[in-house]
Amino acid sequence: MQNMVDGVLYKNTVKTLTAVAESINLDKDVLVRLLKPRRAFIVSVPVRMDDHSIQVFDGYRVQHNQTLGPCKGGIRYHPSVNMTEVAALAMLMTFKNALLHLPLGGAKGGVCVDPSKLSETEMQGLTRRYTTEIHPFIGPERDIPAPDVGTSPQTMAWIMDTYSQKEGFSIPGVVTGKPLEIGGSLGRVSATGLGSIYALRAACEKTDRSLEGMKIAIQGFGNVGSHAAMSAHERGAKIVAVSDVIGGIHNSNGLDIPKLVEHYEKNRSLSDFPDTETLSNADLLELKCDALLPAALDSVIHEENADKIKAEIIVEGANGPVTGAADKILSENGKLIIPDILANGGGVIVSYFEWVQGLAAFFWTEEEVNHRLHSIITNAFDRVWSFSQSQKCTMRDAAMAVALRRLEAAMQLRGLYPR
């Protein structure tokens, strides 16, 4: 596990965990167990490419904690994937599920690969071989993967089919985020983005602001960013800027989000959208607006640019977009940060719904899904806000404290096996 400590996200997560644990006098035996994952492994993923050559990719899966239930966490395909990143994300999933009061533990996985350079045939081969390698450690009662950066419902369909073929019968519950035709849930695709807007609306209610008319900038226009933009637009907010990996566009009067989504789906680019100015991802973060939603990768707000952030509310749609040093600067500047384990919890909430629906073979309407999503997110926000106000601490520290208290109680009740 020694190589895990090099990553920024892992360092930030451990630093927050240990600092909050000390502040709430967390049981030391609980803390020492939470500092290391229960299980972590690396697998080789050989794939026969379209030119008939064989390339071998590195695959990872980390299962951090299973105290509250089976592990849950996404699988990402990205060139930056490594054990450090996956370990940090698995740890965050444990705290996220505890905070949201879901009966799930934390896990994460991925393959170090650039999916944009693979054909569909190569993607399928990669996914099926990766699934084969991690097969002994996943399952509806053990560990339930879901989509993440670089993966999709189609990826989950291939995982489900591969796992089911090896078991000899169909097992839809092995993954969530599947297509509807094979047991997916209505509302799953939009859940993370919608949940972030539910969290933002809860923050507005607590601080006497209004979501309607609020100017919002969103970094990232993938699944999370695009659905957050649409959800906020439908509730009267003005999305003044969005960006993708190449760059962004800006209109201080607000973008026409439904038309922008159509434009992006058609062209796979934000470029050439009417009545907009171009700007870089860095410039978007520093834009004058009411709320900023970083929904791309981690550590985009750091010590060098934190003082330049003008938004009053930062909603962490991505995992770990604000570094520890930046978090301190933003807090001192009076910014309200809705931390990732709360703000982007919509995806795992509806993944939990999908898992439950699959086990019961009884499916809900999208209205039912969204109603339950809103209830869980807002109740979690209320718990974090209440702790933050009573203890005079940041929302990040409050979210971690609430999660740790729940894990502490459960771990002490279950005890240690063997003694």
Q: 101-129, pLDDT tens digit by residue?
A: 999 999 999 999 999 999 999 999 999 99
Q: What is the pLDDT of residues 264-297, one digit of tens each?
A: 999 989 999 999 999 999 999 999 999 999 998 7
List 11, 15, 36, 108, catalytic entry: 108
Q: Is residue 326 part of a domain?
A: yes
Q: Report the percentage of the chain scoring pLDDT > 70.
A: 99
| 254: containing domain | 191-343
> Is 163 in the same domain as 306?
no
Helix axes of 83-99 and 366-391: crossing angle, nearest 10 degrees = 90
* φ and ψ at residue 406, rounded to 5 degrees: -70, -45
Identify whether residues 213 and 161 lie together within a single domain.
Answer: no
Average pLDDT of the segment spanning 235-241: 98
| Residue 197 shares a structural domain with residue 145 | no
* Residue-level pLDDT at 1: 38
Known catalytic residue: 108? yes
Region 199-220: what's the mean pLDDT?
A: 97
Angle at 103 between CA 97 and CA 105, to 5 degrees: 55
> Helix axis angle, 120-134 relative to 153-167, nearest 10°?
50
Q: Is 332 found in the same domain as 218?
A: yes
Distance in angstroms (rounded) separating the CA atoms of residues 388 and 399? 8
**In total, how many domains does the chain have?**
2
Report the predicted TM-score, pTM, of the whole model to 2 decimal places.
0.93
CA distance 249 to 280: 8
Among 343, 366, 393, the domain-final residue is: 343
Give 319's pLDDT tier (boundaries 50, 70, 90): confident
The answer to whether residue 100 is domain-embedded is yes
Report the pLDDT value the prediction gives residue 324, as an integer from 0 to 100. 86
Residue 18, domain member (yes or no)? no
CATH of the domain at 156: 3.40.50.10860
Query: Shortest CA distance to 65 belongs to which of 83, 92, 86?
Result: 92
User: Is residue 358 a part of any domain in this protein?
Assistant: no
